[in-house]
Structure 1
Amino acid sequence: MAAGAGLRMAGTLVKLAARKVFRPKPVGPAGGAPFDAAFDRLLAAPSVAPEIARSTRLTLEANENGWAAAGLRVEPGDEISVIAAGTLWASKALDMHFGPRIGVWLRAGETGAIFKTPGDVASLRVKEGGPLFVVAKPPGEWADEQGRFDPAFPRAGIGGALSICVIVWKNGAAKGLEALARAGDYEGLVTRALAQARNPVSTPEGWTYLWRLGDGEIYRDVKSGESRHIHCRTHQDVGILQFPADFALTDTTRLRWRWKVDKLPCDLPEDIQLTHDYLSIAVEFDNGQDLTYMWSGSLAEGTIFRCPLPYWDKVETHWVLRSDAMELGRWLAEDRPVKADYARAIGAPPARIVRVWLIAVSVFQLGEGICDYADIELVDGERVLKVI
């Protein structure tokens, strides 16, 4: 590491430590005995019990090595609600923690596909049947979509626990949660669960969340007449939205888009793990690499760096495209020569583009990022792939 980069990193860590001392962030609803007592009472209420097909409560410790049996079975098409509270700690000294918004994963059966709740409260329809398994973990440790842990990333260094209530409803989540809300609440979780069930956030049309990080409620379609854009709001979470794009990479291939960034999730240099919160648009290639154009809170425009996170350090490269705070809140148009950028940032270019990504990260500093994307397209001569 160059001396200048080392000094900048040291300065970033000093600022970070000072902020954690003087500006601690709230943890969120507490798990443990208060959560358990509240939901024991709520689920047993005379108006609620008839709506429940099956339910379970369990505590997930951060240091558990595998999936925990939830103690109930789900069938394809079941509507379930998951309500969770508690905190998992990476470092109490640095106030580095995350909650059930990104830490609750489920699987039906031993070989079912894993799925994540998009928030600490979530209602969803189960796609596969079988005994339900649950695990608490940060995103990104998966070896496959069936939930095997990647041995290259041992599950160590995380403390704390999450308290979870899983309910399988007889007559649908909205009706069941209405009854639950009439019976009472616990730190606003039931009220928010009912609001989420009544008005779920749909994933933008044509896009899917990257399975490795799980579904979320970060992105949503915004339509007005014939115009359409994607709105992004991230707060204490992470999500990658992907659009399929089978597109040859040539000397004249360009990625074009417009974006308006209203708020950045971090104002410190994002090139270390503890401050790696950012907003970006990325291109994934057929060799598994991705190049992501980001808006930085403090790094100079034109800065290029490899992702500082485990796993991602092998596949992802960041290019700081914007960092001028005076341009926040403005719609800006971008036009990038993808092959030339790849050659400069990574090396010998591959043959094809396979996906376009939108990335939002706010898990490290627990801040908020807000932006909008429009008119995303891949262009090569007369060929145009309209993404949005």
Structure 2
Amino acid sequence: MCYAAGSVDQAVNVCPMCRVFPHSRCPHQRGLCTNRTAHPRFDVLFLKNAEVDCFRGCGFCKWASASPKAAGWNNTGWPGCCRAPTSGEHRLIQPAEWRSVSVVHHVPIPSEVKVALDNIPSRGSSVPSTSPVRSSKPPVDRRNSSASAKSPAMPIPSKSRANGSPQMTASSVTSTSSRGSGGSGGSGGGEESHKRRETVGENSSPGRKQLDLADPLTPPRRNSGPRPPAKVVPDERRRSPPSAQSPKVSSKSSPPVRAVDPPKPQKKAEPPLSSASSSSGSDSLRTESTITSDGGFTDYLSDESEAELQRQAEAKAALVAQNEAEEFEFRQARQALANVGLKPPNVVRPPKVRT
């Protein structure tokens, strides 16, 4: 939308494109057209980067080039940009621009243009309308699931695994429509588990065969009684190298091997804590430095450290002695002035000189 440079409309009205396309901050740039041949009355302020072609550029120059008779003092500007279009000027506005023109100039969209705009999405959509497909499978009644027939068995092919691991043979898995129904498959399940155990025993590794030497039909024994308390391993065992500990053997055929505890190492006598201290000669100040070790090693001060500590102690002792000497002098001076009165002396007037 074009405005006359320096007019009231320019200062009062908001950016026309921001009404149609809201922005947090106006990004549109304005330019000044000084072509007084096309619009001799004033300079025109126009938009450079409007989103709609109708509002981009100087509308007065467009109208002057489209109708040369209207150029000059009778130039009213391009319809839809500088002013609202009349009924005879609707053909100059593209259908895609009518929404912006309607928002900016507050004019209704023509009925034929509105119908064309409403039909654009329906023509462009290529998704066919399909009716919902009904499945021919009857619904499953969950209430009568216990009386439903079993589905046929599905064979599962065997899968081979490397490194001598057991191979599972083909077995039949029967699926029922109800998880709750199952009382008649007890004997069949036992035979199937027996066959599976035999197959596993034939194809398993030697270590696995040793664990399955017992009767496969007998269930594994479980101790229902209280377990014996776990043996507490002393700290010396944890400190010993891994080679001293005997490996644990978990097998049903062989008796449990009892772990042999290594001999306890003799405890060495811990040396007494070592300390090094240095103190000054004065009673008021003492510098003490202590070095404590945990028995593994002992820190000894180097000659440079001892000399530095001695130098610091002597400097502090000299400072303390100086302070004491100054304090002693202050006390003596105070005692000497104790008998002196604080009353100011009488003012002695000078004698008058006679002339």
TM-score (structure 1 length as normaliser): 0.17
Higher relative contact order (CA 8 A, sep 6+): 1
TM-score (structure 2 length as normaliser): 0.18
Decide which structure has greater helix share: 2
Instruction: Give the greater-gyration-radius structure (CA).
Output: 2
Decide which structure has greater strand share: 1
